[in-house]
Amino acid sequence: MSYHFNTKAIRIQTPTTDEMEHSTPLFLTSSFRFDNAEDMSGAFNETNDHNIYTRFSNPTVQEFTDKMVALEGAEAGFSCASGMAAIFGTMMTFLQSGDHILSCASVFGSTHTLLTKYFPKWGIEYSYGNVGEEDKWEELIKPNTKMIYLETPTNPGLDIVDMEKVNKLAKKHNILFVVDNCFATPALQRPIEFGADLVIHSATKWIDGQGRVLGGVVVGKKEMIREIYLFCRNTGPSMSPFNAWVLTKSLETLDVRMQRHCDNAEALAKRLEGHPKLSMVKYPMLPSHPSYEIAKKQMSRGGGLFTFEIKGGLESGVKFMNSLKLLTLTSNLGDSRTIASHPASTTHSKLSAADQLAVGITPGLIRMSVGLEYVDDLANDILQALEQC
Ligand X SMILES: *Cc1c(COP(=O)(O)O)cnc(C)c1O
Residues interacting with ligand X, by CB under 6 A? Answer: 82-84, 108, 151, 155, 180, 182-183, 202, 204-205, 214, 216
Q: How far is the CB of 108 from ligand X (least distance, A)?
A: 4
Q: How far is the CB of 82 from ligand X (least distance, A)?
A: 3
| Calpha distance 305→340 (Å, rounded) | 10
> Which residues make Cβ contacts (< 8 Å) with residue 315, sequence separation at least 6?
none
Q: How far is the CB of 152 from ligand X (least distance, A)?
A: 10
CB atoms near residue 240 (< 10 Å): 18
101 vs 375, beta carbon nearer ligand X: 101
Q: How far is the CB of 317 from ligand X (least distance, A)?
A: 20
Using DSSP bridges, classify how beta strands 100-104 and 125-129 pair: parallel, antiparallel or unpaired.
Answer: parallel
103 vs 204, beta carbon nearer ligand X: 204
Q: Please spell the DSSP secondary structure of 213-274, one letter per residue.
A: ---EEEEE-HHHHHHHHHHHHHH--BPPHHHHHHHHHHHTTHHHHHHHHHHHHHHHHHHHTT
Q: How far is the CB of 18 from ligand X (least distance, A)?
A: 35
108 vs 229, beta carbon nearer ligand X: 108
CA torsion 279-281-286-289 (nearest 10°) is 70
Residue type for 218, please?
Answer: V
Q: Are 381 and 373 in contact (CB under 8 A)?
A: no
Residue 328, SS3 per DSSP: strand
Residue type for 167, please?
Answer: N
| Calpha distance 130→351 (Å, rounded) | 17
Q: How far is the CB of 126 from ligand X (least distance, A)?
A: 16
137 vs 149, beta carbon nearer ligand X: 149
76 vs 199, beta carbon nearer ligand X: 199
Q: Please spell the DSSP secondary structure of 119-130, one letter per residue.
A: TGGGT-EEEEEP
204 vs 240, beta carbon nearer ligand X: 204
51 vs 108, beta carbon nearer ligand X: 108
Q: How far is the CB of 21 from ligand X (least distance, A)?
A: 29
CB atoms near residue 288 (< 10 Å): 12
